[in-house]
Amino acid sequence: MDEVDSAIVRHLQMDGRLSNRALAEKLGIAPSTCLERTRLLHKRGIIQGYKAQVSLRALNRPVQAMVSTQIRPLRRDVVAAFEQSVTQLPEVVSVYTMAGSDDFLVHVTAQDIDHLHAFLLDQFTNRREIAGFRTAIIYQHLTNPVLDPLPPTAEQQRA
Amino acid sequence: MDEVDSAIVRHLQMDGRLSNRALAEKLGIAPSTCLERTRLLHKRGIIQGYKAQVSLRALNRPVQAMVSTQIRPLRRDVVAAFEQSVTQLPEVVSVYTMAGSDDFLVHVTAQDIDHLHAFLLDQFTNRREIAGFRTAIIYQHLTNPVLDPLPPTAEQQRA
DNA sequence: ATCCCGTGCCGAACTAAATTCGGCCTCTCG
DNA sequence: CGAGAGGCCGAATTTAGTTCGGCACGGGAT
């Protein structure tokens, strides 16, 4: 993970479809070298994949909310089942498993407030393991375009 | 936005580097047609771009936390300035602007707990406009791989 | 019913990119 | 000082992206 690798990661975070040639040119290296580097970044699991960014508005899901959720009993199998099933609901964008008074933060999207309410009544109120939840509307969700690597720890250096 | 468009969106959410030819073959349409469709999805703003998914662990940032933040005064300019500056900090993954008792949820990453603590002391404790914040550690963050479009509203139908 | 036009799709031709691979350079270790 | 490994390069090949002319279908007007 030298400076070239980290530049590759930075560029591909901004534009995941940047062509290998264009990327090579930006970095001042040969396309074949760039390809090799990028392949290694995949193999090492540093680059996990590529995703299209889709407009929630265009998908007709302009309403977003964060649902703070507690489940009981807080057992391994119950936690795993909750994460697994909730993540796959179409209204759910992502699930944060938390330490603290809330066990999960569930980021959900809906067509409008009525659908959000219906979704919560159907999927949350009904579930036995859900001991309680609070819903907060999200006005806006901003994302940092680039996450830079940090210098490796002493432990990672040795590996 | 017919069934073909929505299939394109679904596939590109799962694999943003899927080649046009491979995508066309999956859908049973000609590459030229598929290219045309995909271009229109960009032009309409439905597909906003592509991003490489990077492993936070490989980037040496295994610790994640959600920081619930209140700012005062809750004025437009103060809110905008906060969002803008915080989103660009390297430790920040994303910022949710919220309704309710917390004004923001800030998703942050760090090398370890010590760095997280230092980051909060440097960037949050110091700021005048931050009236208070609570930090909760994130054990895990799962993401739904595919967000499907919802059928259009009556209002959108007319457009 | 028929003609006309617009829309969308197809596939061949062309342009450009991805990929492979042999060779070279450099650095390190014996 | 020589041998080997690693990494990089660039030409050649394979594969993909892109353009464009033409065809088919469907709707509306005559």
Contacting residues of B for A111, CB less than 8 Å apart: 150, 153
- Work out the pLDDT band at B1, boundaries 50, 70, 90: confident
- Whether residue A52 is predicted with pLDDT greater than 80 in this model: the reply is yes
- Whether residue B8 is predicted with pLDDT greater than 90 in this model: the reply is yes
Percentage of the residues of chain A whose pLDDT score is greater than 70: 94
pLDDT at A154: 47
Angle subtended by helix axes A31-43 and A3-14, to nearest 10: 80
pLDDT in tens, B29-43: 999 999 999 999 999
Apex A87 CA angle, A85 and A90, nearest 5: 100
Residue in B54, B97, B153 closest to A13 by CB: B54
Average pLDDT over residues A16-45: 96
How high is the mean pLDDT of chain A? 93
Domain boundaries along the sequence of chain B:
3-52, 63-138
Alpha helices per DSSP H over B74-135: 76-87, 113-120
Q: Measure the CA–CA gap between B133 and B102, rounded to whole angstroms.
A: 8
Q: Measure the CA–CA gap between A12 and A47, rounded to whole angstroms.
A: 9
Strand C atom within 7 Å of B92 CB: no
What tokens does B92 get?
């920040």
Contacting residues of B for A87, CB less than 8 Å apart: 142-144
Region of A43 please: left (phi>0), alpha (psi -120 to 50) or beta.
Answer: alpha
pLDDT at A37: 97
Q: Which CATH number fits domain A63-138: 3.40.50.720, 3.40.50.150, 3.30.70.920, 3.10.20.30?
A: 3.30.70.920
pLDDT in tens, B63-111: 999 999 999 999 999 999 999 999 999 999 999 999 999 999 999 999 9
Q: In 10 A of CB B87, how many CB atoms?
A: 16
Q: Measure the CA–CA gap between A10 and A92, rounded to whole angstroms.
A: 28
pLDDT at B154: 47
Strand D atom within 7 Å of A61 CB: no
pLDDT in tens, B38-76: 999 999 999 999 999 999 999 999 999 999 999 999 999
Q: Which residue has the higher pLDDT, A158 or A27?
A: A27
pLDDT at B108: 98
pLDDT at A38: 97
Q: Say whether B143 and A87 touch across the interface (CB within 8 A).
A: yes
Q: Measure the CA–CA gap between A17 and B12, rounded to whole angstroms.
A: 11
Q: Which residue has the higher pLDDT, A148 or A45?
A: A45
Q: Measure the CA–CA gap between B1 and B128, rounded to whole angstroms.
A: 47
Among A146-155, B5-14, B141-150, the range of highest mean pLDDT: B5-14
DSSP annotation of B123: I
- Work out the pLDDT band at B152, boundaries 50, 70, 90: low
- Work out the pLDDT band at B159, boundaries 50, 70, 90: very low
How high is the mean pLDDT of chain B? 93
Which residues 49-78 of chain A have a CB under 7 Å from nucleic chain C?
Answer: none
Q: Say whether B13 and A153 touch across the interface (CB within 8 A).
A: no
Q: Say whether A90 and B136 touch across the interface (CB within 8 A).
A: no
- Work out the pLDDT band at B151, boundaries 50, 70, 90: low
pLDDT at A159: 38
Query: What is the number of helices (H) and of strands (E) in chain B?
Result: 6, 5
Residue in B13, B54, B97 closest to A147 by CB: B54
Instruction: Look at the block and give the residue holding tokens 């090799």.
Output: A36
Average pLDDT over residues B122-137: 97
pLDDT at A152: 58
Angle subtended by helix axes B3-14 and B20-27, to nearest 10: 130
Q: A3-52, what's its fold?
A: Arc Repressor Mutant, subunit A (1.10.10)
pLDDT in tens, A77-122: 999 999 999 999 999 999 999 999 999 999 999 999 999 999 999 9
- Work out the pLDDT band at B148, boundaries 50, 70, 90: confident
Go through A76-86 and write b for each residue having 16 or more CB atoms within 10 A of its CB, e for each that does not: eeebeebbeeb
The nearest alpha carbon in chain A to B59 belongs to A149
- Work out the pLDDT band at A151, boundaries 50, 70, 90: low
Q: Say whether B51 and A53 touch across the interface (CB within 8 A).
A: yes
Q: Measure the CA–CA gap between A43 and A38, rounded to whole angstroms.
A: 9
- Give me the half-sphere count of Cα atoms (radius 13 Å) on the Cβ side of residue A114: 0
Which residues 23-62 of chain B have a CB under 7 Å from nucleic chain D?
Answer: 31-32, 35
